[in-house]
C-alpha cells in the first residue's frame, strides 16, 4: 500500500468521515495479511517502492489466486513471475484484471500505465535467450522504467552489436543476457561507462551445464562494472536495474533543480 493511502485513512478519521473501528479495520492489514499458507507483505511498497512479487512455481492455482487478491487489494502492477496462461485465467476468476506476457511468462495484475523514466537497455546474445530477456524487459517496464531492447546481437557476429551501439549510449544501466560461453556482458562492459548486469541463461550444448558455464564466465569477466545474477533470472536483473535507473534519474532531477 502506498503511503498516500495511509494518509487518506488518517485524514478521513480526523475529519470524522471514518470511525475508529473502520479505520482500524483498514490499517490492520497494512503490515501483512496472514493467509492459511502465506504471510502477504503489505508494507513492501512503503519500504522498497514496489509490491511483493508472486513466484508461481510450487504454488497451487488456488494459492496464487488468493495471494493475488490480497496484493491487488492495495496495489497496482503486481507481478506474478514464471506464470502460465492457466495462472492468468485463475487470477481472472477472482474478478481481477490482469495481462499475460507469454514469452516473459509474467502476469501483471491490476496493470496501470505509469510514467516511465530514465533508460534501461536489454540485450540478448541469441534468439534462444529472448524468453529470459523478455522477463527482464516486461519487469523493468512494469516497474516504471523506459526500456529499449536489442536481441540476437551476440559475439558470434560482433558487427551486429557494434552497429547498434548508439542504442545504449544514453542508457543508465544495461542488462546483457547470454548463454553458451557467456561472453556478451564482457564485450558490452568494455564499450560503456555504466553498470552492466549479466544474466547467464541455460542455453547451450552439453558442456554448458545448463548455464553454469555462462555463469562462471560472467563471474570471471575481465571487464569492470559487471555484476551477475543467477541463471535465467531476468526478473532479478530487471529489479536491480530498476533500482539503479531510478537513483540515477532522481539524481539528475536534483542536479537540474540546483542549476
Residues in the chain: 259
60 is written with which cell numbers?
497451487
* Backbone phi and psi for residue 243, each to the nearest 5 degrees, phi listed first: -65, -45
Asked if 147 and 141 touch (Cβ cutoff 8 Å), the reply is: yes
Domains annotated on the chain, with CATH: 31-109 (no CATH), 117-249 (3.40.50.1970)
136 is written with which cell numbers?
527482464
pLDDT mean for each 10 residues of the chain (259 residues): 69 85 71 80 76 92 92 87 94 91 95 91 96 97 95 91 86 96 94 95 92 95 93 97 92 79
pTM over 0.95: no
pLDDT for the residue numbered 28 = 63
* Backbone phi and psi for residue 254, each to the nearest 5 degrees, phi listed first: -65, -40
Amino acid at each position: 500500500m502506498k503511503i498516500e493511502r495511509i494518509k487518506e485513512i488518517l485524514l478521513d478519521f480526523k475529519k470524522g468521515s471514518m470511525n475508529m473501528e473502520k479505520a482500524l479495520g483498514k490499517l490492520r492489514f497494512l503490515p501483512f495479511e496472514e493467509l492459511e499458507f502465506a504471510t502477504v507483505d503489505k508494507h513492501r511498497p512503503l519500504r522498497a517502492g514496489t509490491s511483493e512479487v508472486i513466484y508461481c512455481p510450487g504454488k497451487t492455482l488456488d494459492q496464487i489466486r488468493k495471494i493475488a487478491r490480497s496484493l491487488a487489494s492495495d496495489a497496482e502492477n503486481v507481478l506474478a513471475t514464471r506464470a502460465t496462461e492457466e495462472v492468468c485465467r485463475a487470477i481472472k476468476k477472482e474478478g481481477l484484471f490482469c495481462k499475460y506476457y507469454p514469452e516473459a511468462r509474467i502476469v501483471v495484475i491490476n496493470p496501470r500505465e505509469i510514467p516511465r523514466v530514465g533508460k534501461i537497455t536489454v540485450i540478448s546474445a541469441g534468439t534462444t535467450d529472448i524468453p529470459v530477456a523478455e522477463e527482464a524487459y516486461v519487469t523493468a517496464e512494469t516497474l516504471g522504467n523506459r526500456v529499449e531492447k536489442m536481441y540476437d546481437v551476440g559475439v558470434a557476429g560482433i558487427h551486429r552489436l557494434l552497429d547498434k551501439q548508439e542504442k545504449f549510449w544514453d542508457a543508465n544501466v544495461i542488462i546483457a543476457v547470454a548463454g553458451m560461453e557467456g561472453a556478451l556482458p564482457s564485450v558490452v562492459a568494455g564499450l560503456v561507462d555504466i553498470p552492466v548486469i549479466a544474466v547467464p541463461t541455460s542455453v547451450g550444448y552439453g558442456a554448458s551445464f545448463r548455464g553454469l558455464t555462462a555463469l562462471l564466465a560472467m563471474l570471471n569477466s575481465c571487464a569492470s562494472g559487471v555484476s551477475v545474477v543467477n541463471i535465467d533470472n531476468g526478473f532479478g536483473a530487471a529489479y536491480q536495474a530498476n533500482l539503479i535507473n531510478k537513483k540515477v534519474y532522481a539524481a539528475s532531477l536534483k542536479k537540474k533543480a540546483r542549476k
